[in-house]
Amino acid sequence: MAQVINAQDFNSNVKNKEGVAVIDFFATWCGPCNMLGPVFADLAEERKDDAYFAKVDIDQSMELAQEYKVSTVPTVIFFKDGKEVHREIGFMPKEKISSNLDSIK
């Protein structure tokens, strides 16, 4: 399962780390975010050897949401070696996230 991280965790596990990270920017009050949650959790478990998966609550980590210009949730951002390489906005099926991950690796 993907854990909810704060800015400090984000810096050490995404920004300053080599490899691929998939980050779900979400809000607890967001319907599509709540639909994406179980899908993201399943994929995080299935693909845990391929990438680091985590979630950022935009209400708890506003500075990260602002830094990455997240204005719509859910927003899933794919990072490689600490740099953003792709982003998707809105609910998406597990296959779409997995396909994006395959194209980045």
What's the full length of the chain, in residues? 105
- Determine whether 30 is an active site residue: yes
Among candidate residues 5, 20, 33, 97, the one labeled active-site is 33
Among candidate residues 7, 30, 39, 104, the one labeled active-site is 30
Q: How far apart are CA 105 and CA 69, in angstroms?
A: 24
Counting Cβ atoms within 10 Å, is residue 30 exposed (0-12), middle (13-18) or buried (19+)? middle
DSSP-assigned letter for residue 12: I
- Determine whether 15 is an active site residue: no
Residues with catalytic annotation? 30, 33
